[in-house]
């Protein structure tokens, strides 16, 4: 009987600490915290336009949530497991049950699973605070513009990111193509000439822009349990203790 209360409190503490994570590997990328690592909520989405006009039809942003399920070889136009941002589209995702944190070294902390029929140019920010009050632009080996495909990012290298920071949001912006009159070439594209017949351009039609099929925090911690929920857990544990004492009384 003398050990019942400490045991109950220990059980409650274990509940508050959250469930133990099971590591997983997704498309060759290791996520030590498992499925909890992936974005859970679409905070906002503003689709861009399809090259040559129109809006990309693959605009179900929920396809970017959870464990990445569509690969870079997904059939174009089937919208199975990815969202097309469109030219100039903006997608903001939120982690709700976990938080992205810097690792303190040069390894990748964030993985953006991106695809497309050819290299797509995009930029990435991470946001801190309940309402993403502050944003930090991320960069890679070639600067702050990423070139499509599954992209790992070291957030420690971003200006202003410090040890101990915890991030809830990831924003992805597709750089729209435009004609550079000085060079006569399309910028943020694969280098085709301006004004050429669209039939001779690399096809992306209405599925323009980078295709996102998952965003995962490689370096992460569980999100804190709200106080009301924590109190209910503790009350439940203590209630079980009272019932145990009555049975043994």
- Domains assigned to the chain: 21-173+205-224 (2.60.120)
- Alpha-carbon torsion, ordered 181, 187, 193, 195, to 10 deg: -70
Q: Is the pLDDT of residue 151 over 90?
A: yes
Q: Is the pLDDT of residue 13 over 80?
A: no
Give me the residues paired with residue 186 across strands: 179
- Residue 111 in contact with residue 90, Cβ under 8 Å? no
Average pLDDT, the chain: 78
Q: Which two tokens mark 189?
A: 């594209």
Q: Which two tokens mark 247?
A: 């049975």
In whole angstroms, what is the distance from residue 195 CA to residue 209 CA? 19
What's the number of CA atoms in the CB half-sphere (13 Å) around residue 147? 9
In whole angstroms, what is the distance from residue 77 CA to residue 96 CA? 30
Q: Which two tokens mark 149?
A: 């495909």
In whole angstroms, what is the distance from residue 172 CA to residue 125 CA? 7
Q: Is the pLDDT of residue 54 over 60?
A: no
Question: How confident is residue 130, by pLDDT bands cut at 50, 70 and 90?
Answer: confident
Q: How many CB atoms lie within 10 A of CB 146?
A: 24
pTM above 0.85, yes or no: no
- DSSP state, 245? H
pLDDT at 119: 62
């Amino acid at each position: 009987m003398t050990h019942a209360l400490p045991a109950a409190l220990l059980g409650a503490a274990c509940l508050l600490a959250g469930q133990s994570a099971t590591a997983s590997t997704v498309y060759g990328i290791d996520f030590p915290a498992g499925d909890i690592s992936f974005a859970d909520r679409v905070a906002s989405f503003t689709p861009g336009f399809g090259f040559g006009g129109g809006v990309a039809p693959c605009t179900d942003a929920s396809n970017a949530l959870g464990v990445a399920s569509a690969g870079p070889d997904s059939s174009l136009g089937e919208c199975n497991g990815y969202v097309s941002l469109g030219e100039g589209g903006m997608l903001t995702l939120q982690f709700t049950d976990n938080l992205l944190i810097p690792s303190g070294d040069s390894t990748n902390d964030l993985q953006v699973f991106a695809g497309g029929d050819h290299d797509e140019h995009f930029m990435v920010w991470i946001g801190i605070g309940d309402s993403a009050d502050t944003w930090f632009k991320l960069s890679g080996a070639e600067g702050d513009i990423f070139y499509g495909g599954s992209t790992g990012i070291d957030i420690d290298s971003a200006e202003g990111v410090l040890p101990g920071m915890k991030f809830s949001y990831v924003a992805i912006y597709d750089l729209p193509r435009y004609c550079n009159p000085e060079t006569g070439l399309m910028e943020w594209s694969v280098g085709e000439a301006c004004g050429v017949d669209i039939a001779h351009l690399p096809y992306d039609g209405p599925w323009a822009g980078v295709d996102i099929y998952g965003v995962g925090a490689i370096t992460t911690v569980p999100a804190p349990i709200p106080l009301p929920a924590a109190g209910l857990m503790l009350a439940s544990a203590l209630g079980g203790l009272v019932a145990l004492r009555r049975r043994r009384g």
